[in-house]
Amino acid sequence: MTTATAAPPAAGASGASAPRQPGPRRRSLRELTRGARDTLTACRAAARAASTAFRTARETETPSVPPRPRYDTGYRPRSVAVRQHATAVAELVRAPAALTVPGDVLAGALSAGRPAGGRTLLLAASSVSLYWAGMALNDWADREEDARERPERPVPSGRISAGAALGIAGGLTAAGLGLGALAGGRRVLLRRTLPLAATVWAYDLGLKHTPLGPVAMAAARALDVLHGTGPSPAGPALRAAATVGAHTWALTRLSRHEVNGTAGREPLLSLAATAAVTLAAAAGTFRAPERLRPNTASAVVHQASGGPLATASAVLRHLVGSAARSGPGVAPGGPPATASAVLRHLVGSAARSGPGVAPGGPPATLSAVVRHLVGSAGRSGLRIGTDAPRLPGRSIAVTAVTVLTATVYAVTCARAQWAALRDPDAARIRAAVGAGIHALLPLQAALVSRTGSPKLAALLAAVLPQTARLARKVSPT
């Protein structure tokens, strides 16, 4: 039996075609790039996680040893080391606070009638050297106390050794003595510079922690003012020296409590001292200028040749000499035997040659005798001014600068002292002490202005903002 097999239909025999089998899809280039980026991101995240886990495990094993910064290699250039040492020395001597020293010397020099010239500047440089020496010696003497209360100071922190601090103090003292001798010779060295240096060393080495400490510091500041007088007499500068000394005395008493803060009534005492010093600095500023009245004993006499001014004693000497040459009872070259002999001679001379005077009797008018005597002095080479010239009184600029600088001094001190009085903690007392050190500048300006130098006083007062700015970097206390 035969079976018939059906043949597959020929392709295209009918309109329906067989479906196409799906083949492998080809990826585009964008999809490949995205996949590679995702793979790289995953690898980075895995590496970061592994690094964090490793670092955490390492820190857990050695927690007491902090990781050393990568940039700190331990190497210090020489310039950096020199700069750090200079900063330590500046902190040791409280370098910015020395700006308050030259004003003492200027006030003393101008009060004594000395010009603010080269020798005065040398004396100021000598005082600055002695001030720095005192500060370095103070840190050397208080090194054990500072180790407990101020370990950040240069000596207890180890930035400057104790021997180096003592050497700096000795070198600066020698420099101060040398500058004093250069400014005025042996006389100034023995009478002005050496007592100032001895007071500074005595305060730091023995008197600081005794009841005489504030007195010794006040004496040092007062001697600094007298230092500016040089070889001149110190009498005219005693008032300025006492004013600065009183301020320093109260400030030193307050500074003893800047660490513990238990000041008690010291801020109140400082306020009272500030008021007294302000009044002393501005006292007499509003006094009216003196005038010279004509034809009186205070009349100013000029030589006929236009020479320098002479006082009324020149007229008196001339009249007494005239009486000695022509009148009995007067000893030539010495004082009159009796005052009545001179008076009788003068009246008789006026009666012989001056109209209006009755011979043998009292003068008709006093002005007639005075006119005759003035005329006699004029014929003999002296001329009395008939106008009323002014003495060099206080100008408006002197008065204004003196009052302004005294006010700045009072405000600078009193504001910080009042804050310390209301809340006497260590920080406020230390701020009051710093303000008192800075207030020396306007106080010195007021004393300088009193001598008739308002421009120099204004220059001193203008240093105050710069001093306060530098104090933020190097503490003055």
Domains of the chain: 81-287+394-471 (1.10.357.140), 301-384 (no CATH)
pLDDT over 70 at 466, yes or no: yes
Cα 62 to chain center, whole Å? Answer: 54
Return the ∠ at Cα 302 (arms to 300 and 303), rounded to 5°.
150
d(CA 251, CA 438): 11
The model's confidence at residue 357, banded by pLDDT at 50, 70 and 90, is very low
pLDDT of residue 294: 38
Tens digits of residue pLDDT in 79-110: 777 888 888 999 999 998 899 999 999 999 99
What residues have CB less than 8 Å from 362, skipping those under 6 apart? none
**What are the b/e assignments for 134-166, b being 16+ CB within 10 Å?**
bbbbbbbbbbeebeeebeebbbbeebbeeebbb
Identify the top-confidence range among 8-17, 66-75, 152-161, 377-386. 152-161
Which of 73-87, 135-149, 150-164, 166-180 shows the lowest mean pLDDT across its residues?
73-87
Query: For 62-193, where are the alpha helices, taking DSSP H only?
Result: 78-93, 102-111, 118-141, 143-149, 162-188
Helix orientation angle between 266-282 and 426-438, rounded to the nearest 10 degrees: 10
Residue for token digits 């002014």? Answer: 390
d(CA 107, CA 450): 9
3-class SS at 215? Answer: helix
Residue for token digits 């670092």? Answer: 55
Task: Name the helix (H) or strand (E) containing 302.
Answer: strand 301-303
d(CA 420, CA 257): 11
User: Average pLDDT for residues 196-220, to the nearest whole number?
Assistant: 94
Tens digits of residue pLDDT in 40-61: 888 888 888 888 887 777 666 5
Structure tokens at 216: 């010794």
d(CA 340, CA 342): 5
What residues have CB less than 8 Å from 123, skipping those under 6 apart? 105, 109, 179, 180, 183, 184, 188, 192, 227, 228, 230
Which of 194-198, 204-208, 360-364 shows the lowest mean pLDDT across its residues?
360-364
Task: Name the helix (H) or strand (E) containing 249.
Answer: helix 238-255
Return the ∠ at Cα 304 (arms to 302 and 309), rounded to 5°.
20
Tens digits of residue pLDDT in 267-302: 899 999 999 999 999 886 655 443 333 333 333 333
pLDDT of residue 471: 82
pLDDT of residue 264: 78
Provide, rounded to the nearest whole percent, the portion of the chain with pLDDT above 90: 45
What residues have CB less than 8 Å from 254, skipping those under 6 apart? 263, 266, 267, 269, 270, 417, 420, 429, 432, 433, 436
3-class SS at 330? Answer: strand
User: Average pLDDT for residues 422-428, to the nearest whole number?
Assistant: 85
The model's confidence at residue 384, banded by pLDDT at 50, 70 and 90, is very low
Cβ atoms within 10 Å, residue 7: 6
pLDDT of residue 290: 39
Residue 244 near residue 441, CB atoms below 8 Å? no
Q: How many CA atoms lie within 13 A of 268 on its CB side?
A: 3
Instruction: Report pTM.
Output: 0.64
Whole-number Cα distances in Å, 289 to 230, 264, 286, 389, 395: 30, 45, 9, 11, 9
pLDDT of residue 177: 97
pLDDT over 80 at 216, yes or no: yes
pLDDT of residue 460: 92
Residue for token digits 């050794």? Answer: 161
Cα 44 to chain center, whole Å? Answer: 64
Tens digits of residue pLDDT in 308-330: 444 444 544 555 565 555 544 44
Cβ atoms within 10 Å, residue 268: 15
d(CA 270, CA 246): 10
Burial of 475 (0-12, 13-18, 19+ CB in 10 A): middle
Residue 193 near residue 172, CB atoms below 8 Å? no
pLDDT of residue 4: 46
pLDDT of residue 48: 85
pLDDT over 90 at 198, yes or no: yes
Q: Compare 386 and 343 and report the one with higher pLDDT.
A: 343
DSSP state of 390: B
Structure tokens at 468: 């306060």
Residue for token digits 């001190």? Answer: 413
Dihedral of the alpha carbons of 461, 464, 465, 468, in degrees to the nearest 10: -170
